Amino acid sequence: MQEGEQTQAISSGVQGWVGAGSLGTFTALPLPLSTKTELPAPYGPWMDIAHELPQLIMSHRLRARVHQMPQLSTQHLRGREQLHLAHLVLSFITMGYVWQEGEEGTVQVLPRNLAVPYWEVSQALGLPPILSHADFVLANWRRKDPHGPLEIENLDTIITLPGGDSLRGFILVTLLVEKAAVPGIKAITQALGATLQRDGDTLHRALEELAGAIEAMRAALRRMHDYVDPEVFYSVIRIFLSGWKDNPAMPHGLVYEGVSPEALAFSGGSAAQSTVLHAFDELLGICHRQDTAAFLHRMRDYMPRPHRAFVERIRGAASLRQHVLASGDARLRLAFNRCVSALTDFRSYHITIVTKYIATAAAKARARRAEPGARAGPSAGKAPSALEDKGTGGSHIFTFLKSIRDTTREGMISA
Examine residue 353 and tell whether it contacts ligand HEM (CB under 6 A): yes
Is 282:246 a contact under the CB 8 Å cutoff? no
Helix/strand/coil (H, E, C) string of 252-319?
A: CCEEECCCCCCEECCCCCCHHHCHHHHHHHHHHCCCCCHHHHHHHHHHHHHCCHHHHHHHHHHHHCCC
> Smallest distance, Å, CB 120 to ligand HEM?
26
Q: Which is nearer to ligand HEM, 112 or 390 (CB)?
A: 390
Examine residue 168 and tell whether it contacts ligand HEM (CB under 6 A): no
Examine residue 350 and tell whether it contacts ligand HEM (CB under 6 A): yes
Examine residue 337 and tell whether it contacts ligand HEM (CB under 6 A): no
Q: Which of residues 395-414 bind ligand HEM (CB under 6 A)?
A: 395, 397, 400-401, 404
> Smallest distance, Å, CB 239 to ligand HEM?
13
Neighbours of 42 (CB within 10 A): 14
Phi-psi region of 162 (alpha: psi -120 to 50; beta: other; left: phi over 0): beta
Applying CB under 6 A, which of residues 90, 272, 303, 340 lies at the interface with ligand HEM?
272
Query: E strands along 69-225, which residues?
Result: 109-110, 142-143, 155-156
Q: Tell whether 350 is in a known binding site.
A: yes
Neighbours of 67 (CB within 10 A): 11
Examine residue 177 and tell whether it contacts ligand HEM (CB under 6 A): yes
Q: In what order do the strands lie in the sheet with 254-256?
A: 109-110, 254-256, 263-264
Amino acid at 405: R
> Smallest distance, Å, CB 170 to ligand HEM?
6
Helix (H, G, I), strand (E, B) or coil at 1: coil
Examine residue 174 and tell whether it contacts ligand HEM (CB under 6 A): yes
Beta bridge partners of 155: 143
Examine residue 196 and tell whether it contacts ligand HEM (CB under 6 A): no
Q: Which is nearer to ligand HEM, 12 or 270 (CB)?
A: 270
Measured CA to CA in angstroms, residue 222 lies from 97, 148, 216, 248, 397 at distances of: 32, 23, 10, 32, 20
- Single out the segment in contact with ligand HEM by CB under 6 A; choices: 32-40, 142-150, 200-208, 221-229: 221-229
Examine residue 271 and tell whether it contacts ligand HEM (CB under 6 A): yes
Examine residue 239 and tell whether it contacts ligand HEM (CB under 6 A): no
Q: What is the DSSP string of 356-408?
A: IIIIIHHHHHHHHHTSTT---SGGGTPPPSTTTTB-TTS-BHHHHHHHHHHHH
Task: Please give the residue whose beta carbon sits closest to ligand HEM in the complex.
Answer: 391
Q: Which is nearer to ligand HEM, 65 or 298 (CB)?
A: 298
Element (H, E) at 332: helix 330-354
Count of chain residues binding ligand HEM (CB under 6 A): 25
- Output DSSP code: residue 134: I
Q: Which of residues 7-36 bind ligand HEM (CB under 6 A)?
A: none
Q: Which is nearer to ligand HEM, 193 or 394 (CB)?
A: 394
Q: Which is nearer to ligand HEM, 96 or 163 (CB)?
A: 163
341 contacts: CB under 8 Å, gap ≥ 6: 211, 409, 412
> Smallest distance, Å, CB 275 to ligand HEM?
10
> Smallest distance, Å, CB 398 to ligand HEM?
9
> Smallest distance, Å, CB 185 to ligand HEM?
13
Applying CB under 6 A, which of residues 134, 357, 365, 407 lies at the interface with ligand HEM?
357
Q: Which is nearer to ligand HEM, 23 or 271 (CB)?
A: 271
Helix (H, G, I), strand (E, B) or coil at 227: helix
Beta bridge partners of 27: 20
Element (H, E) at 27: strand 27-28
- Single out the segment in contact with ligand HEM by CB under 6 A; choices: 150-158, 327-335, 373-381, 387-395: 387-395
Examine residue 358 and tell whether it contacts ligand HEM (CB under 6 A): yes
| Nearest-angstrom CA–CA distance, 90 and 121 | 9
Q: Which residues of the chain form contacts with ligand HEM (CB under 6 A)?
A: 174, 177, 221, 224, 228, 233, 270-272, 274, 277, 347, 350, 353-354, 357-358, 391-393, 395, 397, 400-401, 404
Mark the binding-site residues for heme b, compressed into ranges.
Answer: 350
